[in-house]
Structure 1
Amino acid sequence: MGIVLNQSFKNTIITYIGFGIGGISTLFLFPPILGKTFYGLSNYILSCANVIMPLFAIGMQNTLVKFYSQCKSEKERNEFLSFTVLFPILLIVLIILIGLCFYDEISFFVTKKNPIVKDFIWLIPVIGICMAYFEIFYAWARVHMYSVFGNFIKEVGLRLFSLIALFGIYFKWITAVDFIYLTAGIYLVAFLVTMFYAFRIKKPVFQFTIPHNVKSILEYTSYIILSGSVANLLLDGDKIMLNQYMKIENIAFYSVATYIALVISVPSRAMHQIVYPITAKLMHDNKHDELNDLYKKTSINLQIVGGFVMLCIFVNIDQLYEMMPAEYRGGIVVVFMIGLSKYFDLILGNNNAIIFNSKYYRAVLFLGVGLVILTVILNMIFIPLLGIIGSAIATLLSITCYSIAKLLFVVKRMHLYPFTKETLHSIAITFVVFLMFYFWKFPVNPIIGICLKSILVTIVYVIVNYKFVVSPEINQTLDKVLFKLKSSK
C-alpha cells in the first residue's frame, strides 16, 4: 500500500472516530454537564475564532502546500518555510493593534445582548492565532508526506481533551468558567505539539528573506484568504449573528441541531478525496464526455448515500431529542432546514471540484462573497422574527441560492449536467420512505427504537433502490457483497 493510500485510509478512520466522539459529546454530554449558557458561550468563542483564523494565517497553510514543491534547492525551501511562518506575524500584530484601538466599540457591539461574553473576548484572538498556526504547521508536515498525526490532533485530540475537561466539570474538579479558559489552553497545546512535530520532521532554518516568487505567492494567498473566510463564515457566521439578537443559550440549541444535520454531508468527504484528482485529470486532458459522465455518477451516488443518512436522521429525530434536555427540542425544525440544505449540496456531485479546477475559480470566489452578504442580510431579517428557526431558514435560502448559482455556472459555462431521470426517482423514493416511517415510533427505549427503525429504513431503502437500479455502480457493489457472502457459506 503506497504512502498516499495508506495515509488516506488512516485519515478517513481518524475523521470518523473524531466525528463519533464529537457526536456523543455534542448530543449527550455538553447539554446536561456544561449547561446551555456556557455551552452557547463556548460555541460562540470557537465560531468567532474560526471566522478570523484565515486572516491570522493569511492563507499560508494552502500556499505552503501549493508552492513548496516548486522550490528547487534546500536554500529555497528554507527561505519559503521561514516566510510562511514569519510573514503572518506582521498581519497578526496589525490586527491585534486595530483590535486594541477599537476594543471598547467591539466589546459594546458583541456584548449588548449577552454581557457574559465580555470577560472572554480576549480568548477569541488567542484561539484564532492558535488555530492559524496549527494549520500552518500541519501543512508543514503534510508537504513532507506526514499527514496522519496532524489530522489525529485536529479530529480526535481536540475533541478528546474537551471531553476530558467536560468530565472535570462533572466530577467538580473545575468550573464551567474554567472549562472556557481550558478550551483555549487545549488549542494552544494542539498548536505547540504540532509545531514541535513539524520541526522534528524538518528542522527549521529561519531566514528573514523574501522568496523570489513573492508576487505569485501573495496573489494566490489573497484568494485563499477570501475563500477561507467565506467558507468559515458560512460554517459559523450564523452562530455569531445569533449572539447579536438572542440570549446566548440559543447558540447551544442551534449548535446541537446543526451538528446533527452536518452528518448528512459526511459521506461526501470520502468520495471527494477520490474524485477530486480524477476530475482535475479529466479537465486537464479535456475529456468533456467522460467528465460529464463522472459528474452524473457522483451526483446520483452521493444523492443515494446522503439521502439514506438524511432519512435515518429525519425519521428518528424525535426519539433522538427525547434523550436530550427538553429546552433543546426546539431545534428539530433547524435539523430539517439545515439537513435539506446539505442534501441539496450533495446532489451537485463533484461540482466544486469542477469549478476549482477550471479557469473560472476566481469568479466563484466572488460568488461566495455575495453569498456571505446574502446570509448576513437574511439572518438580520429572519432571526428577530423567528429566532434560531429564522437563522436556519436564512442558511437554507442562502446555501440553496449559492448551490443553484454554482450549478448554473457549470451548466452554462462548461455545458456539464449532473441530473438524470434517476435524480427524480431517488428524490421520490426518499420522500416515500420518509412518509412511511416518520409518523410512528416503537413504544420502547429511544435508543432501541432508533436502532429498530433504522434497520427497517435500511432494508426498505436498499431494496427499492436496488430494484429500480437508481445507481448501477451501487447495484454492482451490492452484487459483489452478496456474491462474497454466498461464496463464504
Structure 2
Amino acid sequence: MGIVRRHSIRFSIIYYLGIILGYINTILLFPNFLEADQFGLTRMLLSVTIVISQFAQLGTQNMIIRYHPFFGKKILGVGIIICSLGLFVTLSLIVVFQQSILEIYNEKSPLFLEFFHLLIPFSITMVFFNLFDTYLRTLYKNIFSTFLSSVLVRVVWSALILLYYYEYLSFEQFILFYAYAYSIITILSLIYIKLIGQLTLTIHFNKDEYGHFKEIRSFSAFTILSGLSVFLINKVDILMLGSIEGLETVGIYAIASYMAAVIVVPGSAIARTAQSIVANAFKQENYLIIDNVYKKSALHQLILSAAAYILITLNYLNLMYFLPEEYHSSFTIFFYLGFSKIVDTGLGINGIILINSKYYKTDTIFSVVLLILTVITNLIFIPLLGGEGAAIATMLSLIIYNLLKYSFLKIKMSLDPFTPKTIVAITICLLSFIIPYFIPVFNNIFVDSLIRSSLMVSIFVPLIYFTKISTDINELIDQGIRLLKPNK
C-alpha cells in the first residue's frame, strides 16, 4: 500500500483544497449571488454534461487502465480515436432528438432550455479532459490533472461568479464562460502530457498488440454500460428532479449532494491509484496483491469516509448558516446521500476488481440493474417526497448494487474486504458520533462547531491509533506528532 498511500495523501491534499473552494462556490457564493433556479441551472448543465460525456467516452477510461500495461503510451492514440467517434455519435443523437429532450424540461425548467446549446462545447472538453486524466493516472502522474479539475476550474468559476455579482458580466455571459471553463484545464492537461514525454498519437501496433484488439472491443462494449450506470446514479436524481420538481429543488438538492461528495474524497484518492495496481496484478496473476489491496482499501475508506461523514453531520446546520433559508432543509437529503457514500466506499474497490477481472461482463450486468433500479425508485419516491425521495432512491440503489458486487466476489473469487478490524472501526465511528451529537447546542455557531468537532476528533483519533487497526494511519499520525514536536 506504499504507492497507494503516497499518492492518496497528495491527491487528498489537493482534492480537499478543491473541496474548500467548492464549498466557497457551492455553499457561499453561487446560492447567495444567484436565484435558486439560476443556481439549479449551473448544477443541471454540469450534471447533464457528465452524463453525455459518459456516453461519448465509450468505455475508454476503464479500457485505458486495463490495457495500458500491454500497449504503453500507444493507448492514448486509441483513446482519442474512440472518444472522437463517441462524441460524433452522441452529439449527433442529441441534435436529432433535441426537441423531444427539451419537451421533458419545458414546464418545470424553462431556463435550462435557453442554454441547452452550451452542452455541446462543455461535453467535448470534459470528454477529452477525462481521457487525459485517466491516461495520467496509469502513469501515476495524475496529481497535476487533479489540481486542474479540483482547484483551477473552481478558481475560474469563483472569479466568474464574482465578476457577475459586481456586474462586469451579464448572467448570459457568466453561464457561457462557466461552460467553457473546462477547455482551459483540457488544454493544460494535454500540454503536461507533452512536457513529460508521454504524448504519442501513433496507431502502429505489433502482432502481439493487435491480438488484444478483439478483446478491447468486447471489453469496451460491456464497460460502456457499466461506467455509464455508475455515473448515472450520481446524476440521474438531479436530472429527474429537474423534470419533475424544477430547478429550485435541484438547487437545494445540489447543496446536500455536494456535501455528501466530500465524504468520498478519501475513497477516490485510494481508488484512483489502486485501480492501476489491480490491473497490473491481474496481468501478473498475483491474487495476493489484489486481496491485500481490497482489504486495506475497504478499511481505510471506511475509516476516513466515516470520519468525514460524522464531522459534516455534526456541523451541517452550522455549515448552512450562511445560506438563504430555503437551503436549510437539505439536512435529511444529505443524511441519506451521505450514508449511501459510506456503504459505497466501505465495501472497498469491488467494482475495480470486477472490471479488471475475467468477470467484467458481470459488472456490466450489475450496473444495468443499478441503472434500472435507480430510475424506478426515483420515479416512485420523487413524486412522494421530492428531494428527500431522490436521496432515498439513491441510497437504496447503491446499497443493493454494492451488496451484489460484494456477494459475487466472495462466491466466485473468495475475496472478502471485511476483517475483525472492520467491526472495531465501525464501533469507534459510532462512539465518535453519538457522544458529540448529544451535547447541548451553543448559540454561537463557531463555538458549537469547534466543541463538537474537537470532541469528535479527541475520541476518534486516539481510539484509531491505540487499537492499531491500521498501520498506515498510525504511521501518518506518528509523522504528524514528529512534525509538532519542537526540534532539539
Using the size of structure 1 for normalisation, the TM-score is 0.86
Distance 2:414 2:70 in 1: 33
Could you list the per-position Cα deviations for residues 326-359 of structure 1 after superposition, in whole angstroms to 9, with x for gaps in the alignment?
1001110011101111112232134334333432
Counterpart contact for 2:344–2:402, Cα < 8 Å: yes
Q: Which residue of 2 aligns with 1:98?
A: 93
Equivalent position SS for 1:322: coil
Give the Å deviation of 1:131: 0.8
Change (3 A) 1:459 1:113: same
Change (3 A) 1:19 1:116: same
Q: Which residue of 1 aligns with 2:255?
A: 256
Distance 1:409 1:146 in 2: 32
Find out whether 1:183 has 2:178 as its counterpart: yes
Change (3 A) 1:281 1:340: same
Counting only pairs closer than 5 Å after superposition, residues 35-50 of structure 1 correspond to structure 2 as 35-50=35-50
Could you list the per-position Cα deviations for residues 5-24 of structure 1 after superposition, in whole angstroms to 9, with x for gaps in the alignment?
99876544433322221122
- The amino acid across from 1:25 in the alignment is N
Counting only pairs closer than 5 Å after superposition, residues 57-456 of structure 1 correspond to structure 2 as 57-64=57-64, 66-67=66-67, 70-71=70-71, 77=74, 84-138=79-133, 147-195=142-190, 198=193, 201=197, 212=210, 214-273=213-272, 275-276=274-275, 295-441=294-440, 443-456=442-455
Change (3 A) 1:482 1:49: closer
Equivalent position SS for 2:264: helix
Change (3 A) 1:223 1:10: same
Change (3 A) 1:106 1:470: same
Equivalent position SS for 1:122: helix
Could you list the per-position Cα deviations for residues 363-403 of structure 1 after superposition, in whole angstroms to 9, with x for gaps in the alignment?
01210111011001000000000000000000110001111
Distance 1:207 1:282 in 2: 26
- The amino acid across from 2:385 in the alignment is L
Equivalent position SS for 1:330: helix
Could you list the per-position Cα deviations for residues 160-201 of structure 1 after superposition, in whole angstroms to 9, with x for gaps in the alignment?
111110111221111333221111221233334444555665
Give the alignment's Cα RMSD to 1 decimal. Answer: 3.6
Give the Å deviation of 1:254: 0.8
Distance 1:392 1:314 in 2: 15
- Which moves more between the two structures, 179-188 or 269-278? 269-278
Could you list the per-position Cα deviations for residues 222-266 of structure 1 after superposition, in whole angstroms to 9, with x for gaps in the alignment?
234223212220221111111111021111111110111121221
- Which moves more between the two structures, 54-63 or 333-342? 54-63
Which consecutive residues of structure 2, in runs of 5 or more, have no partner in the other structure?
none
Using the size of structure 2 for normalisation, the TM-score is 0.86
- The amino acid across from 1:327 in the alignment is E
Equivalent position SS for 2:415: coil
Counterpart contact for 1:138–1:198, Cα < 8 Å: no
Counterpart contact for 2:432–2:457, Cα < 8 Å: no
Equivalent position SS for 1:417: coil
Identity of aligned residues (%): 29
Distance 2:464 2:10 in 1: 31
Change (3 A) 1:283 1:97: closer
Distance 1:480 1:155 in 2: 26
Counterpart contact for 1:133–1:191, Cα < 8 Å: yes
Change (3 A) 1:208 1:127: farther
Distance 1:473 1:143 in 2: 23
Counterpart contact for 1:441–1:453, Cα < 8 Å: no
Give the Å deviation of 1:416: 2.8
Change (3 A) 1:353 1:119: closer
- Which moves more between the two structures, 51-60 or 144-153? 144-153
Give the Å deviation of 1:158: 1.3
Greater C-alpha radius of gyration: 1
Distance 1:436 1:142 in 2: 40
Q: Which residue of 2 aligns with 1:29?
A: 29
- Which moves more between the two structures, 113-122 or 352-361? 352-361
